[in-house]
Structure formats: structure tokens, C-alpha cells
Amino acid sequence: MDEVLYYPELVRLDATWRCNLRCKHCQTGMFREPGSHYSDLSTEELEELFKQLSRLGTKQVGFLGGEPLLRHDLVSLARTLHSLGIRPSITSNGWLINDRIAYVLTQEVPVDIAVSLDGPDHSRHDNIRGKGSFERAVKALQRLVKYRGRSRTVLIGISAVIHRYCQSNVTGYLDLANELGVDYMVMAIVHPVGTAKQYWDELSIDQGQILPLTRTILKYFQSGEFSFSLRLNFLTPAMRDVLSGEGWSLGGIAPYYDRAGLYECYVQCDGRVFPSQKISEMVPEALASAAHLGLDFSDNSIRKKSMQAIWFGPSFEAYRRLVLSKVHIANYQSCQRCPFSQSSCFPTAVPFLEGAPHAQDFCAYLYNSGLGPFRSKVA
């Protein structure tokens, strides 16, 4: 049944863990620490992987990092994906996107590109990524939009992270995106993974501030004339219930659904394959907890096995059974009382593997505050 229903439609691939920046919230920062040893997949290994993905029905491969453009064969790899009918995309810090690269990626080898921003101005962004990085990111977006022209064959966007430094001017992101003429913006809340753990007291946002921040974003976005689409990666069905009850229109705001192991997977730059970044070497606690429960991904490497053998292998099948059974929901206090947990919401299984009492920290906040679908809790 798995072979019929589930396939890796989207594959997130760390092209490399090398990077020219040292961001305070980098998810892969631990892999560049002294003593870390890894080797990037070669051009030939990746080309073989792409052929296997094509046979499995993959529609998109997203290059992540590190900084993907540090791979000199990235354009060639994008060409290979095109030849196989797979759409390539890149998430970049923008530093290396000069005029030549911008032209190639928008005209010669069309690649959807998102440039990462950690603030709407120099002071906020550069505090996270380093001096001069904001200017380079903005210039990269300007070049991409310029060479792309009026064609929409390539999508250009911004991947924005909300943290303590930028929460006081979160609407500045929207103004900047509109000014630059991008097609979309994805906003996420900073989370304690990788290097962010070292700076968590400096970066973290109180869960009680997320709802007011979301109201601010929605009010500004819906009152202005913005030409790009907006996705909030923290917009859970429970939060939508709260906001809809307040009269907010959410029709044009795309939510985020965790499809890990069902229609998505994550490939590390060294070839190891996992359902998602949340259950990989990036989050060793989750990986160790999964192994303790019999979900062992340690042997899932494309240097040892075919992608088909991994996707339909025992560890991925076991993970799918767990997610589809929704057994993990019974262990989440908020999900037990939430009507969406058995319908429109697909709570991630990762907190269950770690023994956490809630699927999402924000849902825990709503639950403890008696808001949204948990109103009856304090009645």
C-alpha cells in the first residue's frame, strides 16, 4: 500500500554543510565545529540519486545548506534535475549571487530561489548573520528579480525568521518584500536547533507573543496592497481557530503541514536519509529517542542502499505506520482536547519520540490559556 499511496514528492537536500557565514541560529552549525567529519556527496552520487528519485515520482528537490552555491557543480545538478522532469529550488543567503549567477539561475537553468532574511534592515539581520550580509542578500534579490523579468517561470522569494531582535518590526519584512517585488514570503519562528541553542536566551520569543505578532502581520498584510503570497509556518489549525473567531480572514494565508515520511524526506549532504530535518542528526535527541522506540535510521544512506530501498524500507515504513495511526496524538495533552487533531491537523510525531507532552509549543500555550479549541478547559 505504501508503494501506491506514498512517494517522496519533495526532497530537501543539504547540498553541503560548508558556509561562508556563521549565523546565530544555524540549524547545521554543529556540523562545522572542530572534530566534525563529513564528506559531501559527489556530483556522480547526486546524479544517480536524482535518477532514482525520478523513478519514484519526485517532483521537487530543494537544495539547502550550509550555502548551496558553494558547490561549483550546483548549476550542473540543476540541469540534471530539469532533464529528469524534477523542479529544482535553492535556499541561499544571497552572498554569492552576482549578476552572472542571477542570470544563469533565472534564464539558462530556471531555479526557484528563496533568499534568507533575519530582519528587515541592516542592524537586525547583520546581528544574526554578520556585517554586510543584509546588503548582499538584498542585492541578490534585486538581481534575481531584474534578470527574471516579467516571466513567472522562476519563483523568487524570501525565507524570513522571526526572533527577538526583529519582533518589534515584523511588518518591515512585508514592506521589504513588496519593495523588492518577490513572489512569496515564508515566515517561521526561530527554534532551538543547532547553533541557536547557544544563543537561545538572546533569540527566543515568548510563546505568549506569537499570537499578538501574528495579529500584527495579518492586520498589516490585509490592509495593504501586497503583490506576493504569504505563508506562516507556525500557523497551526488551533491558531487559525483563534484568529477566525476574532474575525480574521485567513483564506489567502497558507498553513504548514508536516508531510515527513509520507510525501517528503530529508537527505543530508553525506547521503544519510531521514523523514525530516526534525528527526535527523540535526536533532540528535529526537534521533536517539526514535532509535530507542525501534525507529532506526542509522543504516539509511544512499551510499549503501538505493533510494527505493530506503523509502520502502523498514524504518520509513515504521515511521509511516506511527504517523498514520496517530498513536502519538494520545500522548499530547493539547491534541486530546483539540477537534482538529483527528481531521485537518497532522501533528508531527517528533515531540512524541522525545517524550514531550505537546506537539507544538504554541498549542501548549493555547491549551494552558484556554484559547481557541481549548476554551472549555477553563470554563
Q: Within 10 A of 25 (CB to CB), how many other CB atoms are there?
A: 23
Beta pairing, strands 10-14 & 60-64: parallel
In what side-by-side order are the strands of the sheet with 229-232?
253-254, 229-232, 184-189, 156-162, 112-117, 87-92, 60-64, 10-14, 264-267, 273-274
Give the three-class secondary structure for 264.
Answer: strand
Task: Provide the angle, in degrees to the nearest 10, between the axes of the packed helices 361-369 and 237-245.
Answer: 40
- Total domains in the fold of the chain: 1
Q: Would the pLDDT of 3 be above 60? A: no
Note the pLDDT of residue 2: 45
Note the pLDDT of residue 379: 42
Give the three-class secondary structure for 260.
Answer: strand
- Within 8 A by CB and 6+ apart from 319, the residues are 260, 261, 275, 279, 290, 295, 349
Within a domain: 372 = no
Q: How far apart are CA 230 and CA 218, in angstroms?
A: 10
8 Å CB contact between 242 and 366: yes
Within a domain: 339 = no
| Count of all residues that appear for the chain in the document | 379
Within a domain: 141 = yes
Q: How far apart are CA 284 and CA 276, in angstroms?
A: 13
For residue 194, name the pLDDT band (cuts at 50, 70, 90): confident
**Which of 266-275, 281-290, 347-356: highest mean pLDDT?**
266-275
Q: Would the pLDDT of 378 be above 50? A: no
- Mean pLDDT score, 9-14: 97
Q: Where are the alpha helices (DSSP H) in the chain?
A: 2-5, 43-56, 74-83, 99-103, 122-129, 133-148, 171-180, 200-203, 207-223, 237-245, 284-292, 307-311, 314-325, 333-337, 350-353, 361-369
Q: What is the pLDDT of residues 58-114, one digit of tens each?
A: 999 999 999 999 999 999 999 999 999 999 999 999 999 999 999 999 999 999 999
213/38: higher pLDDT: 213
- Weakest mean pLDDT among 108-117, 311-320, 362-371: 362-371
Q: What is the pLDDT of residues 225-260, one digit of tens each?
A: 898 999 998 888 888 889 988 998 887 676 667 889
Q: Within 10 A of 100 (CB to CB), how many other CB atoms are there?
A: 10
Domain residues for the domain of 56 are 2-278
Phi, psi (degrees; rounded to nearest 5) at 217? -60, -50
Note the pLDDT of residue 250: 81
Within a domain: 289 = no
Within a domain: 357 = no
Within a domain: 297 = no
Note the pLDDT of residue 34: 66
Q: What cell was used for 69?
A: 552555491
For residue 29, name the pLDDT band (cuts at 50, 70, 90): confident
Rg of the chain over CA atoms, in angstroms? 20
Within a domain: 173 = yes
Note the pLDDT of residue 255: 64
Within a domain: 306 = no
Instruction: Give me the chain's average pLDDT, please.
Output: 90
Whichever domain contains 149, its CATH number is 3.20.20.70
- Mean pLDDT score, 146-169: 91
